[in-house]
Chains A and B, each alone.
Chain A
Amino acid sequence: DIQMTQSPSSLSASVGDRVTITCRASQSIYSYLNWYQQKPGKAPKLLIYGASNLQSGVPARFSGSGSGTDFTLTITSLQPEDFATYYCQQSSSTPPYTFGQGTSLEIK
């Protein structure tokens, strides 16, 4: 199985900050990398698919980049509603489609 490693595991930031979360795959997944946001007690929400494509309805302050094994999610100008847990997910050709362990973004 492809292992996905996110860093950091947790992050404190302030409203208005720019933050970056990284995700590394144990082997090349080309650009088959998706990012989700999850708030407590809620289902995840798709933010970015195919490494860099913004899902419809997601604010433009969210962006993704990377290919191969190394990927980043960037949030510019953090808003209060952005404090949540973020997961990366690989969807390379062979299941299982594995997730990173999550990054908890907290208010400083």
Chain B
Amino acid sequence: DAKTTQPPSMDCAEGRAANLPCNHSTISGNEYVYWYRQIHSQGPQYIIHGLKNNETNEMASLIITEDRKSSTLILPHATLRDTAVYYCIVRVDSGGYQKVTFGTGTKLQVIP
């Protein structure tokens, strides 16, 4: 079962930063936060993950609050190609292996 809460949809103007929030108030101390996105009719694509420190890569930045109960994915300069459903996920262990459980995600619409 998903352990995260995200707004169902958001709009962002092209060229502006897109800030996608996620609540994970029941996260355990050793659970990571991951973000994937799914562009229409394609398979999900990994974006970034983190434990407690903020993370940045070529795609996005991940800001995790100090209490780790929420996080924000930041796309610094959104483009039309960033229109997708963004999933915030916390790890679920299954016999020592990770089971990635997707929630309903946030549908991000980048507007020209």
Are A and B part of the same complex?
Answer: no
